[in-house]
Amino acid sequence: MPKTCSDPAIPSAARNVALAFRTIIEPFKIKSVEPIRSTTREERERHLRAAHYNLFLLPAENVLIDLLTDSGTGAMSSRQWAAMMVGDESYAGSPSFERFRHAVQGIFGYKHVIPTHQGRAAERILFSVMCKKGDVVPNNAHFDTTRANVEFTGAEALDLPTREGLEPSNPGLFKGNMDVAALEGLIGRVGRDRVPLVMLTVTNNAGGGQPVSMENVRAVRAVCRRYDIPLYFDACRFAENAYLIKLRETGYETKTPKAIAQEMFALGDGCTMSAKKDGLANIGGFLCTNDDRLAQQEKDLLILTEGYPTYGGLAGRDLEAIAVGLEEVLDEDYLRYRIVSTAYLGKHIAQAGVPIVQPPGGHAIYIDARAFLPHIPPRQFPGVALAAELYLEGGIRSVEIGTLMFGDAAKMDLVRLAIPRRVYTQSHIDYVIEVVLEVWKRHEQIRGLQLTYEAPFLRHFTARLEPL
Ligand SMILES: Cc1ncc(COP(=O)(O)O)c(C=O)c1O
């Protein structure tokens, strides 16, 4: 199954910029390898029973292809490893921080750059400083840690997706957009003083890895300016979002992903970032703001729990790896391979009838488990059943995003196949396609599950289940 430029899964703009040859290859060669271990079906049955049918409880060494998450699971380049060796571990004023700050400011453009150990630490500090009980924070779609950190301050985390963003089979190009009319309506209803900031998550993880258009960012910013409300980005997958704008939004075809990212961030007042995604690092994050007063309060809080403001809980070598990663992630060859590889997986399972969230987003393919297993009601966890079956069939680990994770509040039961960055090759993806299609052939025989143990909160991490 060669991946070609004439493949309709590859957006037309990408085909236009493709090279003379039809096959799009991984834009890297491999210098260091890590073995992955095959297991027999009998072994996997045993491992799955021991993990109580919850893939979070599975030791990673029993997994062949790990698509649990794209966070912190990427492969670093030889340039990043080399940069780590020059990492300076001074407590204060490390030159590694200066290189990190320079790299961040070159793309994001904000005045203050505050390093953190990962994205959620940036969120906790931002919301602690800006929010209080009774406030409302609108977002196109909060990620779970973002929501939890907003709610921890007593404020309400409100998702304002567009209608098409909630329709899995709708092939809309910018299903990550915020509903701008709903934002205006909200501010009118609760009053400007209860909305301390507006957030845009690019791309939108909770909503299927879908991008936000520049037009939507401009429209959201116009509302924010009218009411004098700061606009912040949750920038975890900013490079994938920038590349999807290049492919899909009129007027951006010839711009570089870096120029598009710079244009987007110039429309905001700050951001939170998990460098474990589009920082191409295994750990790290940052918080940015243009506001001097807020930055001072944020740095004070940072010192309390993360560390001094020139390292923020990271080693100097981590700061170096992120500085290089931020440059590499905007490389067009890399982004083309990344987006095409994800789309290729989506296209080949969808054309065999597997129901997925359309169109494929940047970092993952989401299978619609309720449509895949219509005979299993949500209370019998169709997403968990499907994820267990993918493991049994081929040793693939995915994650349920549905009734186990969100309880009765789940609007969909999805299985996310998240693609780690620069880790798996074309043949790994072809293998994943084969396994999904094998499971699809016998989907009618798959049974639901019932809970035997659940924790009082965030139950999906530790839940135990058994087949019905
Ligand atoms: C959109 C989004 N925001 C924030 C986070 C939190 O980042 P971290 O895991 O580094 O704390 C994630 C992590 O998956 C995410 O996807």
Q: Which atom of ligand 1 is nearest to the CA of 70?
A: 14
Predicted confidence at residue 33, as pLDDT, reads 95
Predicted confidence at residue 107, as pLDDT, reads 98
- Span 384-413, pLDDT tens digits: 999 999 999 999 999 999 999 888 878 889
Predicted confidence at residue 27, as pLDDT, reads 93
Q: Which of 139, 202, 274 to mutate to test the pocket of ligand 1 (most atoms within 8 A of CB)?
A: 274
Q: Which of 147, 205, 363 to mutate to test the pocket of ligand 1 (most atoms within 8 A of CB)?
A: 205
Q: Please answer whether residues 289 and 105 qualify as being in contact, where contact means their C-beta atoms are separated by less than 8 angstroms.
A: no
Q: Please answer whether residues 114 and 286 qualify as being in contact, where contact means their C-beta atoms are separated by less than 8 angstroms.
A: yes
Q: What percent of the chain has pLDDT over 90?
A: 88
Helix ranges (DSSP H) in 306-381: 316-328, 332-350, 369-372
Q: Which atom of ligand 1 is nearest to the CA of 234?
A: 3
For residue 49, pLDDT beyond 60: yes
Token representation of residue 114 = 């505050």
- Span 133-182, pLDDT tens digits: 999 999 999 988 899 899 999 999 999 999 999 888 899 999 999 999 99
Q: Please answer whether residues 348 and 132 qualify as being in contact, where contact means their C-beta atoms are separated by less than 8 angstroms.
A: no
* C-alpha atoms less than 13 angstroms from C-alpha of 158 in its C-beta half-sphere: 21
Q: Whose CA is nearest to atom 7 of ligand 1?
A: 119
Which region, left, alpha or beta, applies to residue 228 given φ > 0 means left and ψ of -120 to 50 means alpha? left
Predicted confidence at residue 20, as pLDDT, reads 61
Q: Which atom of ligand 1 is nearest to the CA of 122?
A: 11
Helix ranges (DSSP H) in 191-315: 214-227, 238-248, 257-265, 292-305
Token representation of residue 366 = 């989401």
Q: What percent of the chain has pLDDT over 70?
A: 96
Q: Rounded to whole angstroms, how far apart are CA atoms 362 and 174?
A: 12
Q: Rounded to whole angstroms, how far apart are CA atoms 4 and 10?
A: 8
Whether the CB of 210 sits within 6 Å of ligand 1: no
Q: How many residues does the chain have?
A: 468
Predicted confidence at residue 23, as pLDDT, reads 81
Q: Rounded to whole angstroms, how far apart are CA atoms 26 and 3?
A: 11
Token representation of residue 207 = 């909503």
Q: Whose CA is nearest to atom 3 of ligand 1?
A: 143
Whether the CB of 53 sits within 6 Å of ligand 1: no
Tell how far the Cα of 74 is from the centroid of ligand 1, in angstroms.
Answer: 14
The 3-state secondary structure of 69-118 reads CCCCCCCCCHHHHHHHHCCCCCCCCCHHHHHHHHHHHHHHCCCEEEEECC
Residue 18: pLDDT band (50, 70, 90) is very low
Q: Rounded to whole angstroms, how far apart are CA atoms 288 and 303?
A: 16
Predicted confidence at residue 411, as pLDDT, reads 80
| Residue in 177, 222, 170, 192 with CA at minimum distance from that of residue 368 | 170
Token representation of residue 378 = 């949500």
Average pLDDT, stretch 80-93? 97
Torsion of CA 288, 293, 298, 303, to 10 degrees: 120
Token representation of residue 428 = 């790994």
Q: Whose CA is nearest to atom 15 of ligand 1?
A: 143
Residue 7: pLDDT band (50, 70, 90) is very low
Average pLDDT, stretch 40-57? 98
Q: Rounded to whole angstroms, how far apart are CA atoms 248 and 12?
A: 9
Whether the CB of 238 sits within 6 Å of ligand 1: no
Q: Which of the residue ranges 16-30, 190-204, 333-347, 403-417 would you say has the lowest mean pLDDT?
A: 16-30
Token representation of residue 448 = 């639901």
Whether the CB of 142 sits within 6 Å of ligand 1: no
Q: What is the DSSP letter of 32?
A: S
| Residue type present at position 364 | A
Residue 297, burial from CB neighbour count under 10 angstroms (0-12, 13-18, 19+): middle
Average pLDDT, stretch 452-459? 89
Orientation of helix 95-108 relative to helix 316-328, angle to 10°:
30
- Span 237-251, pLDDT tens digits: 999 999 999 999 999
User: In terms of pTM, does the model score above 0.85?
Assistant: yes
Q: Dihedrals φ, ψ of 313, to 5°? A: 90, 0
Buried b (16+ CB within 10 A) or exposed e, 406-444: beeebebbbbbbbbbbbebebebbbbbbebbeebbeebe
